[in-house]
A and B are shown apart, each in its own frame.
Chain A
Amino acid sequence: MSPTAVLYVAQAIHGLAYGMLLFLVASGLTLIFGMMGILNIAHASFAMLAAYFCFQVLQMTGNFWATLLIAPLFAGICGVLTERFLLRTVHKHGHLAELLITVGIMTLILELVKLFWGTESLVVKIPQNLSGLLKIAGLTYPVYRLFVIGVSIMVLGFMALILYKTRLGKIVQAAVSDADMVSALGINTPLVFMLVFGIGIWLAGVAGAVAAPLLTVFPGMADQLGMDAFVVVVVGGFGSLLGAFIVALFLGELNAYGIQFIPRLAPVLMFAFMALVLAFKPTGLFGERQ
């Protein structure tokens, strides 16, 4: 293959890896929004929290695989507690209060992270067998990015299986379209809400933990990941998983090629794309409601 073609393919895989990470974060965000009507501003903050947990657990145990399991789980537990004790309390004051409480949580997580781990970037080391380069069909590629793509696909496949093949998944799907009706049918929706919130945060946590070696762990991580995830959810349409998937991959590629060709405008491209979509379809590409 010619060097330019290699570059193109490498950027494509870069974009794919970032797009998958983005979708891990955005899928939880869009599910939570679809079901509970809460736009969780703190979503990416939980991903960042998981990344810090990843750093901490790795330091204590030294086992990367165990870390990858434990860190998102901790984040998920934090999410469940948040839902139970904060969001449910303000539920009666409406969506705006819920939105604002997530703003407060975002600030708190940011400050706590700074308090415990400081403001400098922390490096998470990748284990030996993931840190090499892989040669496929004439181009070398870092194994870890392929690993990220693999993990994302695995987690998402698993989630899709639950969502579309189990009873719980059916309940969740029904609750996304009409939570009141599901509640009226005798299903304990608060419990389902708590579960979905926890799982959404867990997904974000997986993204955060997996991204930790890639992006390095620092307090600005949530801003970067969060804005991109919001754009994905808004453009894809609130509550639409398919929309989030397509837009996440598209944005990942847009980002990768944007950085290569017009580095100064790369972040602007994303927002410009969003403005363009919203100008013609305020509900997002695949959404049915605002």
Chain B
Amino acid sequence: MRDKLCKWILWGVVVILVAILPRLVSFYYLNFFIAFAIFSLYAVTLNLLLGYMGVLSFGHAMFFGTGAYAAALALTHIQGFSLLPTVLVGGLAGGLLALILSPLLVRVSGTAFAMLTLAFSQLIFVVALKYREVTGGEDGIGGYPIPPLNIPGLVSIDMTDKINFYYFAIAIVAICIFILWFYTKTPFGSLIVGVRDNALRLDYLGFNLPQTKAINLTVCGTFAGIAGAVHALLMKLVSTVGVLDINTSFAPIMMAYIGGVGSFFGPIIGSAVLHILEDVVIRFTERIGLVNGAIFILVVLFAPMGLVGLFGTAKAKLFHRERAS
């Protein structure tokens, strides 16, 4: 009972903090927080594959980038395209890509899965780079209008205003993360964990493995696409190096690993840690990659379950000692 109350209070504090954040910090940190939120959602979708289904998506940027490009293209080419459909188009594009690739991807697991996703993301990266008529090549797509949030007959909220956009982005991310959290709690969510733990047994029990994997892939692709679309709205620029390159694929892997693979909220913690780290490190040195790489290696070496895992072990040890004394 007390635990539950604590939890509610904690959530309340988080919600209030997020709500009053624009009053507390400058625009720079507002942007920073939105980027953190977007990457949290992105890392959570990766973790649904890595931690829950047990396959490493090494080219996750393709879903993220496709979502971002779809949103940017829709805004550039369709006059008066409104805000929510933009986000949906991003999700749709990511999901569609995952659906198209799933017949190939569900057949493999382990390292082959990682390689295949990496190869496809490189393929899409190269295509986006070469077809400059559509994608703008290295320059990317920029200068598209950011539409206001229209609720017919009620209000029209200007999204070029940073604070309004902050609330919008956080709301979208929060809703998506909640949906994904709910998704992991459904029977289907358990089925996905089952695929990781003992696929053969599920097969014998009569579950349809390829379809299960394909559905989970599509869900992950969709939400990664949504994250990409919100990213496109935030940055007002979509370019291959920003959303499709291999570093964009590695970022959520690092986040998930540092936060804790297999724990739902681990990647969010990892995203926070990496973003804060970047913000701190950049004041001393430009070599963020060096610091990130070193930390990543240390985490894989010494804390394979990430910070959440470390916290769990520490807690267990602490309680154990209390009971013993």
Contact = CB atoms under 8 A, between A and B. Distances in A.
Q: How large is the interface on B (under 10, 10 to 19, 20 to 34, 35 or more residues)?
A: 35 or more
A278 B116 contact: yes
Contact of A268 (B104, B110, B123, B301): B123
Contact of A107 (B115, B250, B301): B250
Contact of B296 (A90, A103, A227, A282): A103
B293 A111 contact: yes
A263 B192 CA distance: 43
B248 to A, nearest CB: 14
A43 B134 CA distance: 34
Which secondary structure characterizes the binding site on chain B? helix
A278 to B, nearest CB: 6
Q: Which of B115, B123, B296 has the most CB of A within 10 A?
A: B115
A274 B101 CA distance: 13
B109 interface: yes
Q: Which of A100, A231, A267 has the most CB of B within 10 A?
A: A100
Given A282-B107, A282-B112, A290-B112, A271 B122 contact: yes
Contact of A238 (B112, B127, B294, B304): B112
Contacts of B191: none
B254 to A, nearest CB: 8
Interface string A69-101: 000000000000000001001100101110111
Contacts, number: 103
Contact of B300 (A104, A115, A282): A104
Given A99-B56, A264-B130, A111 B246 contact: no
A97 B304 contact: yes
Nearest to A112: B290
21 contacts: A37-B111, A93-B304, A96-B56, A99-B111, A101-B297, A107-B250, A107-B289, A107-B296, A108-B294, A111-B287, A115-B287, A227-B119, A267-B126, A267-B130, A271-B123, A271-B126, A274-B119, A275-B123, A282-B107, A290-B109, A290-B112
Q: Considering the complex of A and B, which 3 residue pairs feature the smallest CB-CB distances, nearest first? A: A107-B293, A104-B297, A271-B123
